[in-house]
Structures are given as structure tokens and as C-alpha cells.
Amino acid sequence: MTPADLQALIRHAWQLRRAGAYAQAQKAAQHILELKWNEPNALTILGLNEHSHGKYREAIQLLRRALQNARQSTDVQCYLANAHTGLGEYSKAIAIFDRILRKNPEHPVALAGASHAWEMRGRADKVLALLTSHIRRGSATPLIRVVYARALLQQQEHEQVPAVVAPAMQSEQTVGQDRAELHRVLGKALAKLQKHDEAFEEFAAANALLRQPYDHHRTVAHYDALIDAFDAQAMNTAARSSCDSELPVFVVGMPRCGSTLVEQIIHAHPDGWGAGEISHLRNVLADHLKISALPELLACETAQLDSASAQYLKLLRSVKRGPARIVDKNLFHFEFLPAIAMLFPNARILHIRRDPLDTCLSCFIEALPPAVHTFACDLEDLGKYYAQYDRLMQHWTDVIDGLNILEVQYEALVANQEEVSRDIITFLGLDWDDACVHFQDVVRPIATASYSQVTRPMYNTSVRRHTLYDAHLQPLRNALRRGGYVFD
């Protein structure tokens, strides 16, 4: 293959990536690496794809490899810094961006990335100081305007947001994700200004730009297969690990259910630690047990399960040594409850539930990664997916004897903070500590859309939030009804 041919393949892979065809871009980049090992463009595309799927550690590894062959690439350095931000490693991200900005103070991607890292640390003042001159000069990119507008929202200056985003929204050159995020931040400002119908239109416009195909039939077939494989008889006869560790706490549920709040309460306890949305369990099943489909776990013997549980605990302790309980808040582990029961008989599971209309609406409003949450950009898709999640959780509680699980209702936690918090801590086998009531005082990296909500005292304004948007939610209600949900 000639260098010109290789460059043509690289251009095509980037075109696929920029068009949002992530799966095709992935294959194109992998093909390039088969032809030229460590080709930096291919590694960068693969790293960006991992980032799009929320796999920040994997993204960092790939982007570091890319930088070994493209050390001067400021773009790749920015991508790496953004991955550190996604992982909650804000100091590392800011350090990279600062090095870039010292050489080029006007670098738009570094400015936006540094501002976003400061935003995630709750420092809206730093964001405004960094970007105000660019906004006033009219030189700000759409992404910079988005980050600046979000900082204004944190500072309760909602009325300024429409004017900040207007120049970029009026430009025909603003397309794709940039335009979507402008719609979203404008929607949030309008909601704060009590203009909820207009706000919903902005959220809908954002999601229309980002929507990925959601294959509901595939979800149903996947959950049917799990339910058929893991029936009561299979679970009663399945091997169990002899692991007696009580270290892992698995928090499961739908996105936007209140799980980060629960994790923060546990993290505030002197013997608790929140590890965030980690992928150690899936990695152990795939890499250690060589399982490609969960039902294969039923063929494992106790010795294999013991080895896998030991490997998971080793990975978990690498997150933090010392705590008696470490929270694994990978919400999609609700699909893996049989594995948790077989690997960790003494582990606790917290199932966080929230009103389904509020849950789905919050998914629709927030910027969940569409490459992962393909159901989150459409109200009907959200309702259909929620019904399947609910069906699978009900099946697990029916067929897994002795499942060590506590259901936590978000609305009850908000209404009776200390009582429900005490229930959670007691369930975990820990003594009560008043620090759990003051969870907002605990400083830690939080790499989810809930970062700004768990750094202030408990509030109830998200309860029954759907009533503000009822006129727009009929597709969601209809999908939930078809899935078996009965409204009061």
C-alpha cells in the first residue's frame, strides 16, 4: 500500500467519525492499524470512540499511544485532557490544557476543555474569568459559548444565556453536536425562566440532532434470553463463589434515578468510598472468565468463580485501599445481578428507583452520551426501554433467592433524608455517622451530569418535575402504559 492509499483510508475514517458513524469509524481505524501498527490517527479515532462510550480509561490508554507517534499534536493532547476530565481527573486535565494555553492562549479547543474541567470542579468563577474576554470580543466558538452559558447557569444568571448563545445559533456553520449543546443549554436557561414549553422545544431540537438508532427489538430479545437462561431452577443449581467479602456495594438502576446522590451519601461515611461508574465487573467476566454472553456463567464452577471474584476485588482495592465498603455505580449492572449473586454472595445491592416520568424526562433533558444511551433521545424509546429495565429487575427479584438488595426510592430519600440515609447505612452493615447528612461538604471528582446537584444540600425541586412538561409527554406515557406501567 502506498502512503497516498493510507492517507485516503485515514481521511475516510475521520469522515465516518465526524458523521457520527462510530461503528464504521471503529472498523476503519482497526483496519488501518492492521496495515500500520500504532498509526496515530487510527489510535486517536479509537480513543475518541471509547470516550464516546464512556470508557475513559481505555480512551486515555489509546490516546497516550497516539501521542507517542504524534507528540506535537495539540488536538490529541486536548482529547487526552478531555478523557481525564471524563474520568474525574480534573487536575491532570487542567495541567494539560494549561501547557497548551501557555503556548497559544487563543486555542479554542483548549479554552473550552479547560473551562469544562473547571466547570466540573464547581468553579464557575474560573470559567467566567477564562472566557469572558472571548465572549465580549465575539471570537468565541460555539463550544466556548456553551461552556460559558453553563457557568452562567451555575451562577444563577439565567437571563444572560439567550444572548450568549444567539450568535452561534444564528450561524449556519454551527452544526452537529455544537448546535445540539447550544439548544440544550438554552433550554435549561428557559426552564429556569419558567418558560417550560419553549425549553422543551430546545431539548427536543438537541436530541433530534444527536439521536442514534435504538434497536428496541434487540433489547427485548436480549432480556428474553437472560430471563430464559436464568430461571429459578438455574439460579438454585448454579455454583456460588466461596468469597465472603462485603467490600463491594453495587448501585443499579436507570440513568438519572438519583444514584449519584446515594453514592455521595455513602462516600461521606468514614468507612465508605464511591468509585463511580467503573467497568471492572464486565472486564473480569470478559477477560478473566472469557465469557462473551452472561448465560455462559452458569457453566462455571466454584473455583473459577473464586478466581474471578478475587480478581475483581483486586481491581476494586486499586481504586482505594482502606474503606470497608466501595460503591461500584455502574447502573447497567442491573443486567448482571446473577453474576453479582454468584461471585459475591455477601455483597450488597442498592436498587435506586425514581418516578418513571421524572426519570425518563431527566434522561431526555440531560446530555447522556447517545452512543451508549441510544434510547435517551426520544421519549417513546425512553418509555419502551424503561419498561424492559423494570421487567428484568422484577425477574431477578423473583428468581434469585437470598438476593441482598435494598430498594431506595428517590422521592422518599428527598422527603426523609436522614431516615432513609440511616436505612442505607444500616443495610451496608456500618454504624451511623452524621457526615452522611452533610454529603454536600465532601469534595470528590464526580464525572456525571449530577456533579452540580450533589455538591449542595438536599432539595426537592426535581420531584414531580414532569408536571411542568405534561403537555409534551404523551409519547412517553403511552410507551410506559404499553409496557405495563399503571399511572395513578
Cβ-contact 127, 160 below 8 angstroms: no
Answer with the one of 190, 210, 230 that is the final residue of a domain.
Answer: 210
343 found inside a domain: yes
Encode pLDDT of 314-324 as tens digits.
Answer: 999 998 889 99
If asked whether residues 415 and 296 sit together in one domain, one would say yes
Residue 273 and residue 420 in one domain: yes
- The predicted model gives 208-231 an average pLDDT of 95
Give alpha helix (H) positions in 70-175: 74-86, 90-103, 108-120, 124-137, 142-154, 161-169
Least confident of 273-277, 386-390, 408-412: 273-277
pLDDT of residue 61: 94
**Are 472 and 421 part of one and the same domain?**
yes
Phi and psi, residue 250, nearest 5°: -100, 120
Range of the domain at 467: 216-482
CATH of the domain at 475: 3.40.50.300
Q: Write a three-state SS string for 139-159.
A: CCCHHHHHHHHHHHHHCCCHH
Statement: residue 445 has pLDDT above 60: no
Looking at residues 65-85, what average pLDDT do you find? 90
- pLDDT score, position 21: 82
**CA quadruple 137, 143, 149, 155: dihedral sign:** negative
Q: What would the pLDDT profile of 242-263 be if each residue is shown by its tens digit? A: 999 999 999 999 999 999 999 9
Q: What is the mean pLDDT of residues 193-207?
A: 97
Strand arrangement of the beta sheet that strand 405-409 belongs to: 272-274, 325-328, 248-253, 348-353, 405-409
Among candidate residues 159, 181, 210, the one where a domain is terminated: 210
Beta bridge partners of 328: 250
Domain count, the chain: 2
* pLDDT, tens digit, 9 for 90 and up, residues 45-58: 999 999 988 788 89
Does residue 108 belong to any structural domain of this protein?
Answer: no
Residue 213, CB half-sphere, CA atoms under 13 Å: how many? 7
Q: Are residues 192 and 339 in the same domain?
A: no
At residue 88, the pLDDT reads: 85
Segment 180-207 shows an average pLDDT of 97
205 and 246 belong to one structural domain: no
- Residue 356 and residue 240 in one domain: yes
Q: Are residues 202 and 235 in the same domain?
A: no
Residue with cell 409527554: 473
Identify the pLDDT of residue 402: 87
With cell 452562567, the residue in question is 152
Say if 429 falls within a structural domain: yes
pLDDT digits (tens, 9 = 90+) for 148-165: 999 999 999 999 999 999
Confidence of residue 441 (pLDDT cuts 50, 70, 90): confident
CATH code where residue 178 lies: 1.25.40
pTM given for the model: 0.86
Range 87-97 average pLDDT: 93
Q: What's the mean per-residue pLDDT of the chain?
A: 92
Considering 210, 243, 267, which residue would you say is the last residue of a domain?
210
Is 116 within a domain? no
CA angle 428, 430, 434 (to 5 degrees): 115
User: By percentage, how much of the chain surpasses pLDDT 70?
Assistant: 97
- Please report the pLDDT score of residue 440 as a whole number: 82
Residue 452 has pLDDT above 60, yes or no: no
pLDDT at position 277: 87
Position 89 in a domain: no
- Please check whether residues 225 and 159 belong to one and the same domain: no
Whether 241 and 154 map to the same domain: the answer is no
Percent of the chain residues past pLDDT 90, beyond the cut: 79
Banded model confidence at residue 264, pLDDT cuts 50, 70, 90: very high
3 state SS of 451: coil
pLDDT of residue 319: 85
Residue 37: its pLDDT value, please?
A: 87
Model confidence at 100, pLDDT cuts 50, 70, 90, reads very high
Please indicate, yes or no, whether residues 220 and 202 belong to a single structural domain of this protein. Answer: no
Per-residue pLDDT tens over the stretch 101-152: 999 998 989 998 999 999 888 899 999 999 999 999 988 899 999 999 999 9
- At 444, the pLDDT band (50, 70, 90 cuts) reads low
